Structure 1
C-alpha cells in the first residue's frame, strides 16, 4: 500500500486534536462517527469525507479550513493565482467611499454586460480570467452606482460581489467569501431586488453547510424562501426558489435527513417541470439536469454510493450545462467509484475533471481527498495517479 507524508487532512486532525489535549477516544466521543474511523483517517488509511471534517472542526472549535489546509498556498503561488486575491480584497473594501474622482467608468450598459460575462467566466471555470478582471469592474460599478444610482447598476454590482464570493470559495479563501456576501447584501438592498437577496441567503446557507452547521443552513434557506416569496411569481423567482430547495436537499443529506432530502428534491423537480431549463437565471444552472445532479450529490453525502453510481450511469448531461457543474459531477462520481472499489474508474473521472476544469479540480477539497484516498488504496501507484497526487501538492 502506498504511503503519504504528513500533509493530509487526517494528519492535521491529529495535530489539532493534540493541541486541544484530547485523546482519540475523547474526540471520537464528540463525533457522530466511530473511534475506528477517526483512527483510520488520522493514520491516513481512509480519506476524510467533507461531513467528517466538518464534524471534527465543530468538535475542536476551529475552522474547517484549518483541517483541509485551505487555501492551498503553494499551488496558488505556482499557478500565480494568489497574487490576484489581494486586489479583490481591496476592491471589496472600497464599497462605501462614494464616486471615485480619479476614475472614468464605461457606460452603464457595458458595465452591466461585463458583470454578466464574469459570471459566465466562472461557470466556464476560467477563474484566472475572472479574478484578473473582477477588481477593476467592481471599482467601475461602484463609481457608476454612486454617481448615477439605478436598479440595474446596483444589481450588476451585487452580481460582481457574488462573483467575488464564487472565486474566493473555489480558491479556498472563505474569510474573503464572507465579506463578498456582505457586500452582495448591501448592493441587493439598494437594488430592492428580493431574488438577489434570496440568492445571497442560498450562498450563506452553503457556507454553514461546509462548516457543519446544518440547522443554521436550513434556517437560511427558509429565510431565502421568505424573501423570494415577496417577489412576483416569475420564471426568475421560481428558479431561485427551486435552487433554494436544491441547496436544502444537500444540507439535509449532510444532516442525514433522508425524508427532507426527498421533499426538497420533489419540490425542485416540480418547479423544473414548470419552467424547464433556467440555467441563465442568476447563473444558478437551475433546471431538470441540476435537480438530477443534486439528487446524486445527496446520495453521495449520505454515503449511499451504490445508489449514487446507479443514478450517475443513467445520467445524460445536456450540452448547455455549465462546465463547473460537469466537473462537480465527475468529482462526485469519482468519490462514489472509489468508495465502491472501482479505483481505476475513479481516477479516470478525476482526470476528466482535471482536463475539463483544471483550476476548479485542483482546489476542490473533494477531489483532493479522493486523490489522497486513491493513493492510500493503491498497492502500486500508477503513473497517472502519481501525476495527479503531485499536481495537488501531495
Structure 2
C-alpha cells in the first residue's frame, strides 16, 4: 500500500506527482469532474487495450478478479458489505434505480430539502402524478441547512414513505446533517435515500453511522474515477422489498416457461452489459482514496476551501454565498457587476478551471441566485492555485 499521509496530513507533492493533469491546469472544478490519478488512468487504459487486443468478452473473463474487486473496494470505502453494492453507469441512474423501486402508494409522502437537485425533484413530481404521492419540502434553519426540528415534526405527522436528500448540494457549500437525519428516520421507521454524489471521496461517508438505507454516488467527482461510472448502496434489510424498475438476465434468472427470479443481492439493480474498464477503474479509485486516507482528504479539502472563502471575502465587491454550519469543498461566489460565465472564461484563460451554477440544478431553492461562480477544491490543489484564481477575478 502506498503511504500518502501521516496523521491527517496528505503528502501533497506525491499526490500531485500521481496526478498528470496538475502539470497542465489549476483544476478547481472537482465538483464537476476531478482529475484522475495515474493508477485509475492506467487501469482504464490497460483494460481498453486488452479489449482491443483479445476481444471484449475475453478481456472481461481475463480481468474478472479486478471487476469483482470493485465491490470490495467500494464497500470498504463506505462501511458497507460487498453484497450491498451495485455498479451503475452514473449517479443519476443509480439514484433512479433506487427511487423507482420504492413501493409508493396513494397518500404516501416524500420529504426532501430546499437544496435538492432538480433531477431528483423531477422524479418526485413524476411519481407524485402517477401514484398519488405528495412531496413536502422541509424548510431550512436560520443558517440555511435542513431544519431537523421541522423534519422531526413532519415525520411525527405520519404517512411518510421516504426521506430523500443530498449530502452536499451541487450549487452551494453546505453539508447537510446526514447522520442526524438518519437517526430521525430510524426513530420513525422511514426509508432514507441519500444522494452522496458530491460527498463520497470528499468526506468520511459511513453508511452505518449515517443510517441511510440507500445511497447513490458517482465516479467522476471527488472519488476521481472515470466519467460514466457510479454505484449504489442498498442495505440488506430492505433489499427484498425493492423491485428494480427493469430487469435483465443479470439482475434476474429466467424460469421457463413464464417465470423469473430476481437475485437477492444489490446486483439486482445492475444490467449485464456495462462499462467493464470503468468498473475496474472505479474500484481502483475507491482503493486509492482509502490509501490516501479519507480523514486526511476531508481535513485538507476543508482547510483549502476555508482559505479560499477567506481570500474571496477580502476581494473587492466579492460575495461568498455558501450556507450552513458545516462548509464543504464547494465554494460559490459572485463579483458585483460581472457575469459568472465571464469570470469562468477569464479564469480558464489563466489556466484555472472553475464552473458556474444554474437555476436548472437548484431544485426548490428559491433563495439561490440565478448564477454564481463555483470553485471546488480537492486535496491535490494548492494555495498557489487559489491565488491564481484570485488574480483572474475582476477588480
Q: Fold conserved (TM > 0.5)?
A: no
**Would you tell me which structure has more helix in proportion to its own residues?**
1
Higher strand fraction: Structure 1 or Structure 2? 2
TM-score norm. by structure 1 comes to 0.30
TM-score (norm 2): 0.30
